[in-house]
Structures are given as structure tokens and as C-alpha cells.
Structure 1
Amino acid sequence: MAIATRILLAGAALAGLAGAPALAAGKFRAPEGCTVYQTVQLHNCQVAQLYRCDGDAAGDQWTLYSDGQGPFYLSRIDAETRWVDSYDLTTGERDQIAEEADPASFSTLLETGRDSYDFTTKSNSGEVRRYHGFDELTGKTVVIDGITLDQTRFELTAEGADGERIYHRSGAQFIQRDWRVFFADREVFEGSDGDRREMAEGPVTFAAPDTPGYLAAEPEYDCNSQMTDAMPLPGGAS
């Protein structure tokens, strides 16, 4: 899909929000009233823009993911990394959090070393999905491009409204304590049709304002070997 088409779809998906992300001269431009605090280059030909907006609830933040063809996924989480809102920018599908039997809690993860979650989302097409699983600190930390990250172990199962499993994901992720965000690392994806894939989509470089690579719109790593085929999920489901 051409980059221009991706951007048009992004605009359509974000209609009704206070502004929409855009690309200008190879740089990402956040919506009015929003500020990008990190641009993160990821493995598997992805780049993420992490930003916060003045008009949002305290602790809310957004992440826009782009691949070699342009923006493809936008997510909004709150201070506890609860899945508030997400957009598939290739289809216009929007998912919002609905019922929560066990809300995700970043605070609980930091305080106890483990957090479980069980919640449902509903899309603008009416599809309902249930997500349940856990995140667990391993006690290990790593430093990537000067940023200290804690490693986690996780499992996540997605089910349809009928209770049938859609997919199961398991493996390792990272958290950044001060930013209150998750990043992918290495995981195994198992679909209901028997499809099984191993993925590595962890961070490679971080760029804060006024540093090289800040607001870069193009991914830099692994783009000649593999394009992304797994949609990131916010919070502990990333």
C-alpha cells in the first residue's frame, strides 16, 4: 500500500479527534496540542512515535507505529497502561475498551512484580473481543541506547464473543518505568488456524527532542529482510 494511501486512511480513521498525526518532509508531525517525547526505532522495520496531548486525561499517552509503507497503527493508553483506544490505520477499524473484569495495572506490576488482566473491547464494526493474560517482571534489566528497561514475561489470549480463541501470544517484553509504557521484545504468536510465528520487534534506538533521529518517519532496521505482519497492542498486550 502506498504511503499516501496510508496517510489518507489515517486521516479517515482519526476523524472526530482533535487533530491527526501527519508526515511532513520525512518527519512526523504530532496533532496540535501534542508533544512527542520519544521516537523509537524498532526491529522488524518499524518506528514508533510516543506522544502526550494537553487535552487528554492525566497519564494518557499515544503511540503511532509506522512501517516502510507509512503509519499503520495508533494506540492510546492511560497511566495504568489500560487499552483505552486503538486504530488500525489500514482498515479504519477502531477498538475501544468496554468491560473490565480485571483491569490492567502498571502500578501493581511495579509493586508486586506481577499483574493480570481480563477485559473486552468493542470495535466500530461491532466486533467484541476478550483479552486476558498477565505480565511478570523477570528481575532482569537491560540498557538499550542509554535507556534502562525492565524485562517482563507475558502471556496473552484473545477470544471472540463466542469464546473461541483467536490467538495466543507469549514471550518477553520490556517496560520503561518512568514513561509507563511497554515495548515488544521476542514472542511466539499462535493463531487459531495453527499458524505459529516467532517475532522480534524490540527497540533499537531512542531519540528524545533535539537529538538525532527525533521525529524520524521512516523505519531503519530489518526493512530489507522482513516487513511487519503483527499488529502491536498497547499496554501489557503489546
Structure 2
Amino acid sequence: MMRGALSPSVALAILTCGPALAAETFALPQGCNAFVTIQSHSCAVEHYFTCESDPEGIKRRVSLGEDGLNFVGSTDRDAQWLTSFYPFTDHREELESSPADPASLSELLAKGVDTYDFQTNSDEIGLTRYVGEDRLTGRTVIIDDVVLQQTDYNITAYGPDGTELWSSAGNEFVNAEWRSFIGGTTTVTSPDDSFDKDDRPVQFIFPGEPGFLSANPKFDCGAVLSSAPALTPKEISNDHL
């Protein structure tokens, strides 16, 4: 199993400890501790956490919508997506062991730009290739007293036969202290559709504050959203590859 991969025991614990329909808080697995809850546009609440059983630098994230838990993922210190799991479809992806051009938050922060070219593997569709670029805009944004650096990004996903599946471009944010990408505004284009998403953070909630580990998203809920092509971590919000 790859370094930092989502082990079956942790995945099962997240699913079984997660919120019931009427629950107010999200219960993390034993040995895991959250450091921030983010309430975002597009009716999403996310929890970032670490687990004692993980190697140093591994962070995990869960995302919940109106219908409950919809994403579980893990990243390393360079914000590379290691694993992603979508409970509603039982879809899993894992990063290949030797990317051609690994995504690197360190390079982005040091040079202002980072390119990447890597593949993920899933049982359903095999290999998916992702090619793209992140670039710091030089703009610093403060949202709910948290300092974020804005990025421009573009990414294209290709199927096992090289066919373009979708592309995405827009702005996201980086928090250098947490070494994490945070969602922004996105335009996603597939062969049959194009739509916009707004995953910008609205509130950052820390341990001990009201709403920390809330299971209930607060903003933009009840809206009718466009159907997306098969979603990857890039579209889920974060937070990004």
C-alpha cells in the first residue's frame, strides 16, 4: 500500500463514525484530531485532520454536503493527493508511485509556479492522467481572519486511451501554514457540458469554537447545481492536487 494511503480501517472508521442524518457534529476515528473546519460556498463543510497512525506530513480531509459525507481524501506534505474516496459511488483513486512531474506545493511557494503531470489508478476506469499548472497571482486574501494566497490554475484529465475527459480552470487559495490548497472559483468543461462552481471558504472554525466539526453545511444550500462529470479531488473543492 502506498505511503499515506487510506487504509481500510481508517476508511471504515470514518464511514461508521460519520454523522447520522440528524447528527450535529462529525465524529472522527479514534486517534485522529481535526485542526480546522471550513464552511464554504456550494453547500459544503470540510474538516481537515491528522491521524496518529499516519506517517508525518499526511493530512486527511472529509467533505459533507446536504446529503451527508461525499468525499474522503489524504494528501502529503507537498499537497499531493494520495487517495480519494467518494462514498456515494464507492469510487476510489490512488496516486501512481512515480509521477512524471509530481505536484509540489514547495515549488509553488518557492518559485511562484508549479507544473504537474501524474496519474491516478482506480478499479473502475484504470489510469487517469492529470496535466496542469498552479501559479501564484501575488494577491493575498484574508477570509475570516485567515491569510490565504490566491492561485490561478488549469488542469486537464485524460482517460486510459488518451481521450480528454474534462478540463478545469480558475482560482484557488493556498494556506502555507497548513500546506494545503483550499477551494475557489472554477469553470469545468467536458465534451458535453460546461459549468461554474464557487467553493470559496466563508468561515474558518477552530477547536473550541462553535460549529467546529459541524456535520451541517451552512451556505448556498438548497440550490440546484449543474451535474458534473466524474468528479476528482480538483472539483471537490480542495483543495487540489
Do the structures match in fold with TM over 0.5?
yes
Query: How many Å apart are 1:57 and its aligned residue?
Result: 1.2
Which residue of 15, 22, 37 corresponds with 2:18? 22
Distance change >3 Å, CA 105–CA 131, structure 1 → 2: same
Is the partner of 1:206 in helix, strand or coil? strand
2:205 aligned residue: 207
1:47 aligns to 2:45 (yes or no): yes
Assess if the C-alpha contact under 8 Å between 1:67 and 1:228 holds in 2.
no
1:9 aligned residue: none
Assess if the C-alpha contact under 8 Å between 1:67 and 1:227 holds in 2.
no
Amino acid in the other structure paired with 2:18: A
Is the partner of 1:102 in helix, strand or coil? coil
1:223 aligns to 2:215 (yes or no): no
* Aligned counterparts of 1:59 and 1:192: Cα–Cα separation in 2: 37
* Aligned counterparts of 1:65 and 1:229: Cα–Cα separation in 2: 18
Distance change >3 Å, CA 118–CA 15, structure 1 → 2: closer
Which residue of 31, 35, 38 corresponds with 2:36? 38
**Residues 156-175 of structure 1: matches in 2 within 5 Å?**
156-175=155-174
Amino acid in the other structure paired with 1:103: P
Amino acid in the other structure paired with 2:160: A
* Aligned counterparts of 2:224 and 2:216: Cα–Cα separation in 1: 15
* Aligned counterparts of 1:228 and 1:89: Cα–Cα separation in 2: 20
1:78 aligned residue: 76
Is the partner of 1:109 in helix, strand or coil? helix
The TM-score normalised by the length of structure 1 is 0.89
Assess if the C-alpha contact under 8 Å between 2:183 and 2:240 holds in 1.
no
**Residues 50-199 of structure 1: matches in 2 within 5 Å?**
50-98=48-96, 99-193=98-192, 195-199=193-197
Give ranges in structure 2 of 5+ residues lacking alignment. 1-5
* Aligned counterparts of 1:112 and 1:15: Cα–Cα separation in 2: 34
Is the partner of 2:109 in helix, strand or coil? helix
Amino acid in the other structure paired with 1:119: F
Give ranges in structure 1 of 5+ residues lacking alignment. 1-13
More strand as a share of residues: 1
Assess if the C-alpha contact under 8 Å between 1:80 and 1:106 holds in 2.
yes
Question: CA offsets per residue over residues 148-169 of structure 1, 9 Å max, x none?
Answer: 0000000000000101000000
Amino acid in the other structure paired with 1:179: W
* Aligned counterparts of 2:84 and 2:130: Cα–Cα separation in 1: 14
* Aligned counterparts of 1:219 and 1:236: Cα–Cα separation in 2: 17
Assess if the C-alpha contact under 8 Å between 1:134 and 1:236 holds in 2.
no
Query: How big is the alpha-carbon RMSD for the aligned residues of Structure 1 and Structure 2?
Result: 1.8
Amino acid in the other structure paired with 1:213: G
Distance change >3 Å, CA 45–CA 225, structure 1 → 2: same
Aligned length: 224
Distance change >3 Å, CA 82–CA 93, structure 1 → 2: same
Is the partner of 1:136 in helix, strand or coil? strand
* Aligned counterparts of 1:206 and 1:29: Cα–Cα separation in 2: 18
Is the partner of 1:171 in helix, strand or coil? strand
Amino acid in the other structure paired with 2:213: L
